[in-house]
Amino acid sequence: MAETKTKPTGASVDEYLASRASPEQLQDCKAIMAICKRVTRQQAHMWGPSIVGYGTYTYTYESGHSGSAPLAGFAIRGRELVVYLGVDEPGQTELLARLGKHKMTKSCLYIKRLADLDVKVLEALIAVAVAEVRRRYPEGRGA
């Protein structure tokens, strides 16, 4: 079975941001960091070379594959920021409709600028996603 590549590292979040973020992205990253810290009550840590993650949980799929992932996280991907979150809970579709300019895939929310969004709706989306992860993978299986 393949080993999960995205794991917590000792790399510096500040160095990652300084090396990748434009000045505007840096401001947006700091705002997203404040939201993630507020929602998870965890400190930021690098996961792999490019994900800023908060907290951790352990999952096991029906296939038997297991691993760890951050409760909440984001990354800088060129000109976009990606916020990692599941959006399969009731009410999240309605929140996405109110969010503002974005692109959503299965678990990646792509945004260009926080100024294009309703930041309170973004925080609500992150909070719902974190609550669902904690429900599916209760304490004792991750922080």
Tokens of 74: 């984001």
Q: What is the CATH number of the domain that holds 28?
A: 3.90.1150.200
In a domain, 143, yes or no: no
pTM for this model (two decimals)? 0.90
Count of CB atoms situated within 10 Å of the CB of 117: 19
Please give the tally of structural domains in the chain: 1
Q: What percent of the chain has pLDDT over 70?
A: 92
Give 79-97 pLDDT, tens digit per residue.
999 999 976 777 788 999 9
Residue 142 lies in a domain: no
Q: Identify whether 82 is part of a domain.
A: yes
| Per-residue pLDDT, 4 | 66
* Domain containing residue 94: 13-136
In sequence order, the 6+-apart residues with CB closer than 8 A to the CB of 110 are 77, 80, 81, 82, 102, 103, 104
54 within some domain: yes
**Is the dihedral angle over the CA atoms 37, 111, 47, 137 positive or is it negative?**
positive
48 is a domain residue: yes
- Checking if the pLDDT of 143 tops 70, the result is no
In this structure, is residue 67 part of a structural domain? yes
Q: Is residue 142's pLDDT more than 50?
A: no
